[in-house]
Amino acid sequence: MERWVYPVTSLRPEDVEQKRVCTTRTPLRGEYAWDAGVAVGRFLTELKAGRLIGRRCRACGRVMIPPRMFCEQCFRPTDEWVPLADTGTVITFSVCTISWDMRRLEVPEVPAVIAIDGASPGMGIMHKLGEVGRTLEEILDRVRIGMRVQAVWKPAGEREGAITDIRYFRPLED
C-alpha cells in the first residue's frame, strides 16, 4: 500500500514564545468541581478495581455502558448493576497520524468504539487500540471492524478511577 503523506505544519512552543505566530492570552481563573453522579461514580470506582460495570433496565432489557440511572428509551429509572467482561468487539475505529497540536506521531494512535461483551448491541465505550502495529500500513492490515479485543489494565497501584485505568484494548487471539 502506498504511504499517505499529509502536509502538516507543526507548531512548537518556541514558535509561540518567539511570536512567530499570532496568539492571544486570556488568563482564566475558573474554579469548579465536577460531580460524576451515581452511575458514572460507580463506573469509575469499578475501573479503579479493574472491572467494567453496566446498568440494566428491566423494562426494555438493555444493559448500558457507560451505566446510567435513567433509561432514555423507557423514560424510567434503571434497575440493577451488571458486572461486564473486559472484552468486546470493535464497532468503528480511526487512525490518527498527527497529534492534537499537529505533530506527526511516530506511532499512530487508533481510537475505537468498543462494544463491551454482556452489554446490549450498540452500547460501546470510546477507547484506543494497542499492540496493533507501529506503522499506518501495519495498523490498516491488522485492525478490522468486528475485531475481538480485551482491555489492558494499568497495575492496581497506578489506577485512579479513570477511563485511562485501561491503557488500551489489544486484539484477542482467536
Q: C-alpha distances in angstroms, 18 versus 8, 10, 12, 24, 140?
A: 20, 15, 10, 13, 39
71/125 with CB nearer Zn ion = 71
User: Counting contacts by CB under 5 A, is residue 60 touching Zn ion?
Assistant: yes
81/153 with CB nearer Zn ion = 81
11/74 with CB nearer Zn ion = 74
* Burial classification of residue 156, based on how many CB atoms lie within 10 Å of its CB (0-12 exposed, 13-18 middle, 19 or more buried): exposed
Residue 163 CB, nearest approach to Zn ion (Å): 24
Q: Please measure the distance between the N-terminal and C-terminal CA atoms of the chain and give it in whole angstroms.
A: 26
The count of residues interacting with Zn ion (CB under 5 A) is 6
Site string for Zn ion, 62-91 (x = CB under 5 A): ---------x-xx-----------------
Which residue has 423494562 as its cell numbers? 59
Binding site for Zn ion (CB under 5 A): 57, 59-60, 71, 73-74
